[in-house]
Every structure is written in structure tokens, then in C-alpha cells.
Amino acid sequence: MLWERVLQGDIRAAARLMRLADDRSEEARRQLAALFPHTGKAYVIGITGNPGAGKSTLVDKIVKEFRSRGRRVGVVAIDPSSPFSGGAILGDRVRMQQHSTDPGVFIRSLGTRGNLGGLSRSTADIVMVMDALGFDVVLIETVGVGQDEVDIVRTAHTSVVIMVPGLGDGIQIMKAGILEIADLFVVNKSDRPDADRMVAELNAIQTLSVPGHRGPKVPVLRTVATKSEGIAEVVDGLEEHERALKAGDGWGQREQARLEEMLRSIVHEALSARVERTYAQLDSRTAVSQRLLSRELSPYDLAETMLRELTGIAEDTG
């Protein structure tokens, strides 16, 4: 079986299962379900930030530092999908070519395929396969658009937010809600003139009372990824956060949150597919799309009809 070969460390089998997962095949669902009991060991780190923040370069350097410490690293690089072909623009894999011959590194690029928030539908599945392969650390690099920060905090044990001097002030940081999800701030390109100001703002804002903030003061670190400056300190910070989570209840709480988000995603996707099929069937039988357009039928009444078709129970729409 494919999942058994993954547990034996078969990279080809893992790559095939990842492909099946990204294609949302029924075979992938069965294989992943069998694989699930053998997972739960990998430390999952989400890395997000605005486009142009240098995420890919920083991830590349973080991988190298983790490898120097003897840890096996998987990378899930979320790339924007082409609006024409639907395929991923695999820029991250190109940038990380230096790791291609290292058996202790596995890089998988995924396209968003139009998924809101910038995370691919199959991100959690790919992370699980890397976990089963025995990778100690899995890095998820987001596209850096929309609700990435909100999405990544529900997918990772530790969330790293990368900031760049000159792209926004403290008030905008607060508006974005970043303080509520960051476990580690990294001010990249910190050789720029406004770096000191950004670091000071990030530290100062944390003295305010921020509803929903998840814990103690978030460390603010400085890097110049292109020069490999500050990378060791970032990995020190990540490993310190990992130890803190495992020393208390944090690890279990975040692992539970990850799995609950995974469950919601699976159910939501399955229900969405059923809704689309039900609508198509109703349209073929009673031309509901034209009846909606002519206002003969309201979306509210149609929703109740569809819910009855889906569940056999008429919902109260009032």
C-alpha cells in the first residue's frame, strides 16, 4: 500500500500521495486516513508576510540552519496559481535548488488554485505526509495575501510574521490583527534606514492591551536574509518556542486546533461539492438559474429546497 511505503521513507511514494492529495482523489482520502495514526510528531512552522518581504530567501536560510543542527526539514511553499493554466508558479522551488540533493530536505510547491487566503486546499495533507516521512520540522511559506495570517495560525504550531521596514506603520500593524497571531516577528531587510523604527514600534505596540493576544510578549528579531544575518537567532527563537509549547499544554492545544481546522476544511470541501452538484441537478430539472434571474424564485426559497435535497430536513430560513 502507498501509505506503508511512505512510512518506510519512500520519497517517490510520498510524492505520488501528495499529488493525489492535491488532485483531491478518493484514493488519497483512503491513504491519508490510514497514514494519520502514524503522524503528530513534526513541528509545523507557518511563515507569512507581505509580498516582497523576502519570505522565500529567509525560508531558504532557515532550512540551511536547521540542517546544520541535524534536523530534517520539509517545506510546503504556497505559490500563486496562474489565472490561465491553474498551475503553480514554482518560484520557491527554483530559489531553493541548493537543497535539491539533500535527502534531509523535501520541498513541495503548491498552487493556491484560487483558494481564498493564500493557502492551498491540500496544505494540511502535504504536511501530514512529510510528518509521516519522518521530517522533524515542516515549514509552510504562504503567498502573502488576504487572510494568510488568520489561515496560517490555524495550520501551524508556531506562526512567524515577516515585516519589512518602510511598508507600513504601527497602526496598520494593529489594524491587520497581526499581534493576535504572531509567535515571532522577524524584521527582514533590517539594514534599511527605517528598521530601528519598525522594531521599536513592534515592541511598543505590545505594551498596549490587545484583545485576543495569545500570550506573553512576542520576540522581535532582525535579519538580513540575503547576507545570512540573524538567521541563527531566528532558529534559536523557533526552537525555544517549540520547547515552551511541549513543556506545557501549548503543544496539545495547538495540535488540537490544527486537527479541528483540518476537519472543518474536509467537511466544508465535501459539502461545497455536494451543493454544486445539487444545484446543477435542480437546474437541469427545473431551470432554477433562469427562475432566479427572472425573480420568479428567491435565493432564500431555493436554499431551503437545496437543504431539503441535501439533508432531507427543511431549514428555518426566517
Q: Please tell me the least confidently modeled range out of 214-223, 241-250, 306-315.
A: 306-315
CA 199, 200, 203, 204 torsion-angle sign: negative
Specify the pLDDT at position 112. 57
Residue 169 in this model has a pLDDT that exceeds 60:
no
Per-residue pLDDT reduced to its tens digit, 84-132: 334 444 444 555 667 878 899 999 988 755 444 446 678 999 999 999 9
Mean pLDDT of all residues in the chain?
A: 84
Specify the pLDDT at position 178. 66
Specify the pLDDT at position 98. 73
Q: Please tell me the least confidently modeled range out of 20-29, 140-149, 184-193.
A: 140-149
User: Binning pLDDT at 50, 70 and 90, where does residue 8 land?
Assistant: very high
Specify the pLDDT at position 151. 73
In this prediction the pTM is 0.85
Which residue is it, cell 511553499? 77
Q: Are 124 and 31 in contact (CB under 8 A)?
A: no
Q: Are 77 and 110 in contact (CB under 8 A)?
A: yes
**213 vs 88, more confident:** 213
- Cα separation, 84 vs 40, whole angstroms: 37
Residue 231 in this model has a pLDDT that exceeds 80:
yes
Residue 49 in this model has a pLDDT that exceeds 90:
no
Q: Provide mean pLDDT across the span 75-83.
A: 69
What CATH number should be reported for the domain whose range is 39-247? 3.40.50.300
Q: Where are the domains of the chain?
A: 1-36, 39-247, 250-318
Beta-carbon contacts of 63 under 8 Å, excluding residues fewer than 6 positions away, are 73, 75, 96, 99, 105, 139
Per-residue pLDDT reduced to its tens digit, 300-313: 999 999 999 888 65
Task: Give the closest residue to 222 by CA, choosing from 58, 107, 5.
Answer: 58
Per-residue pLDDT reduced to its tens digit, 250-297: 999 999 999 998 999 899 888 998 999 999 999 999 999 999 999 999
Q: Provide mean pLDDT across the span 236-252.
A: 97
